[in-house]
Amino acid sequence: MQISGAEILVRSLQEEGVEFIFGYPGGAVLEIYDAIFRQNQFKHVLVRHEQAAVHAADAYSRSSDKVGVALVTSGPGATNAVTGIATAYMDSIPMVVISGQVPTPAIGMDAFQEVDMVGITRPCVKHNFLVKDVTELASTIKKAFYIAKTGRPGPVVVDIAKDVTQAKHEFSYPDSVQIRSYVPVTRGHPGQIKKAVGLLLEAKRPYIYVGGGAVQGNAAAEVTELVRLLGVPCTNTLMGLGAYPGSDRQFLGMLGMHGTYEANMAMQNCDVLLAVGARFDDRVISVPSHFLGAPKKIIHIDVDPSSIAKRVKADVPIVGDVKHVLAEMLELLRASSQRPDAQALAAWWQQVEAWRDRKSLWYQPSDELIKPQHVVQTLYEVTGGNAIVTSDVGQHQMWAAQYYKFDRPKQWLNSGGLGTMGFGLPAAIGAQLANPDATVACITGEGSIQMNIQELSTAKQYHTPVKVLSLNNRYLGMVRQWQEFFYGTRYSESYMDALPDFVKIAEAYGHVGMKIENPADVEPAIREAFSQKNRERLVFMDFRTDQSENVFPMVGNGKGLDQMDLPPHMREQGGEAADRDYGNLC
């Protein structure tokens, strides 16, 4: 039987097991929306802005094992989706974004709501397609899902001309897909894996650095087993948080620009570094030459060969699926009786503990002003460390990463690569739909939340009872912090004037709003928000926080990992010199 292209698309999505589509209708996708109306296998979530559709689909994917799907119309619908697509691309999130296109005869005619979507998104997708022939529609959708979720995952855009959705064709969905030019590597090179294990066993100061690749590659169990088996310290990147349990003793905290003192010092001073699904980016190691100034052997496992030797050359590069490669390393280790030199490892731990004892995340508590760190810590306690936490971008994001100890992968969802403000709320909605029984919290700020605040309406419509914690310091905090440190306290356009009454906004959308101004009220407010009473409701908490608080430690531009700007209490300790006498351990 011949069915329309729109029906073929819907059937294809059903074949892929799609549960939710996040989207917004428009002229070029009317046929598709009609086909969606006439089916009931998957649900459509109507967002209030296309950017939010893509973020929600993205977080739906990040917080599950599924591929997120977004659907937007041509022209402005498509361009609005671009920020979301670039966000997913930078963080390697598997996603299929379907965009409408003007009918094939109108392409290139500057038709109403025409934009070259394939051209615009080319640099920020794993791959994209323009479907101009209905006979190719089903196989293209199959390929799109396959490409999105295999190898290094990423977003795939399928741009479909309107006449294709109207044309008729037989539906047959391919069982498998073979693309001769695309053959992702799974297994690592056995010789390299052996070499890596040998290096780790001979290390005096070994360190394991785990990135988002371990989260996306479902390798958290293998990472954890390896770290414990070797008894070595471990750090996660912003994207890797949860890959190794955040509350474990062997975890030194996040590393990088706002990493803990111990995580960064260990990174700089280790002698053998195992990088797992991480890419040595500028926010992690800062300047490569300084990082490599302290000699170390580097083992680098990544599914994407282009991530290896991009910023830092590896001594033992291993291209492969991190889960597979780690499993093979574990097998070799289990079969061997050799373990790292206990004496050297004890000395290394002693040094690491000395760094940790400096308590780089300590902050001066206050009875008068709400400390943003305290809000995150209280959230951690009240939710028992179990919430799925999304964030926006800025100071609050860093505090969330520093103070909420993520024990599980896919529990922490944030825009790490692109740094997209406005990600948090739609992401929370997507995560809640993927995990209906989970507690979902969105840590945001008064700047970021206003970039997609309209999604409070979507949350109402789909009954996603996420809890929004806005750390409202009346500043674009991270911008203000940089202006304080590097621009002579000239706070150019970073003050958020004319802020709305967020309680009223929340209430206007049909939610619960709370304004919290005293430190003593923080815990009761969070407890109330997460209480049974509010189980089914979205609660918006507007915390009036300390305006002058900064994120520490901080690796300034052009500085090395061991040249952090330290919080005031550490500066008073005057421990700078003490760090340098580390040489006797080598």
Tokens of 572: 């008073």
Nearer CB in complex with other proteins: 117/453: 117
Task: Please tell me whether residue 179 binds other proteins under the rule CB under 8 A.
Answer: yes
Q: For other proteins, what does the binding mask look like between residues 367 and 406, x meaning CB under 8 A?
A: ----------------------------------------
Nearer CB in complex with other proteins: 107/505: 107
Measured from the CB of residue 106, what is the shortest distance to other proteins in angstroms?
A: 17
Residue 349 has φ and ψ, to the nearest 5°, of -65, -35
Give the residue numbers annotated as catalytic, written as ranges: 50, 112-113, 162, 478
Number of residues that bind other proteins (CB under 8 A): 18
What is the CB-side half-sphere exposure of residue 299 using CA atoms within 13 A? 30
Task: Please tell me whether residue 147 binds other proteins under the rule CB under 8 A.
Answer: yes
Tokens of 83: 């920020």
Task: Please tell me whether residue 508 binds other proteins under the rule CB under 8 A.
Answer: no
Q: Which residues pair with 98 in a beta bridge?
A: 71, 158
What are the C-alpha distances in Å from 349 to residues 127, 343, 345, 421?
A: 45, 10, 6, 38
Q: Do 45 and 22 contact (CB within 8 A), yes or no? A: yes
Tokens of 456: 């409070």
Nearer CB in complex with other proteins: 172/306: 306
Burial 205-229 (b: 16+ CB within 10 A, else e): bbbbbbbbbbbbbebbebbbbbbee
Which residue stretch of 26-34, 103-111, 115-123, 479-487 sits at the interface with other proteins (rule: CB under 8 A)? 115-123
DSSP 312-365: S--SEEEES-HHHHHHHHHHHHHH------HHHHHHHHHHHHHHHTT-TT----
Task: Please tell me whether residue 105 binds other proteins under the rule CB under 8 A.
Answer: no
Task: Please tell me whether residue 292 binds other proteins under the rule CB under 8 A.
Answer: no
Measured from the CB of residue 143, what is the shortest distance to other proteins in angstroms?
A: 9
Q: How far apart are CA 451 and CA 421, in angstroms?
A: 7
Measured from the CB of residue 122, what is the shortest distance to other proteins in angstroms?
A: 5
Query: Other C-beta atoms within 10 Å of 483: how many?
Result: 18
Site for other proteins in 52-81 (CB under 8 A): none
Task: Please tell me whether residue 127 binds other proteins under the rule CB under 8 A.
Answer: yes
Measured from the CB of residue 181, what is the shortest distance to other proteins in angstroms?
A: 4
Which residue stretch of 21-29, 179-187, 334-342, 548-556 sits at the interface with other proteins (rule: CB under 8 A)? 179-187
Nearer CB in complex with other proteins: 40/181: 181
Measured from the CB of residue 120, what is the shortest distance to other proteins in angstroms?
A: 11
Q: Which of 293, 305, 365, 524 binds other proteins (CB under 8 A)?
A: 305
Q: Which of 126, 279, 300, 480 binds other proteins (CB under 8 A)?
A: 126
Instruction: Note if the bond before 233 is cis, omega within 30 degrees.
Output: no
Residue 325 has φ and ψ, to the nearest 5°, of -65, -45
Q: Which of 229, 309, 499, 586 binds other proteins (CB under 8 A)?
A: 309
Q: Which residues pair with 537 in a beta bridge?
A: none
Q: How far apart are CA 97 and CA 75, in angstroms?
A: 14
Which residue stretch of 4-12, 84-92, 177-185, 232-240 sits at the interface with other proteins (rule: CB under 8 A)? 177-185
Measured from the CB of residue 170, what is the shortest distance to other proteins in angstroms?
A: 24
Which residue stretch of 100-108, 180-188, 383-391, 525-533 sits at the interface with other proteins (rule: CB under 8 A)? 180-188
Q: Do 400 and 389 contact (CB within 8 A), yes or no? A: yes
- Output the CA torsion sign for 310, 316, 320, 325: negative
Task: Please tell me whether residue 180 binds other proteins under the rule CB under 8 A.
Answer: yes
Task: Please tell me whether residue 134 binds other proteins under the rule CB under 8 A.
Answer: no
Which residue stretch of 62-70, 173-181, 457-465, 532-540 sits at the interface with other proteins (rule: CB under 8 A)? 173-181
At residue 203, the 3 state secondary structure works out as coil
Q: How far apart are CA 106 and CA 161, in angstroms?
A: 9
> Under the rule (CB under 8 A), what is the footprint of other proteins?
118-119, 122-123, 126-127, 130, 147, 179-182, 304-306, 309-310, 313
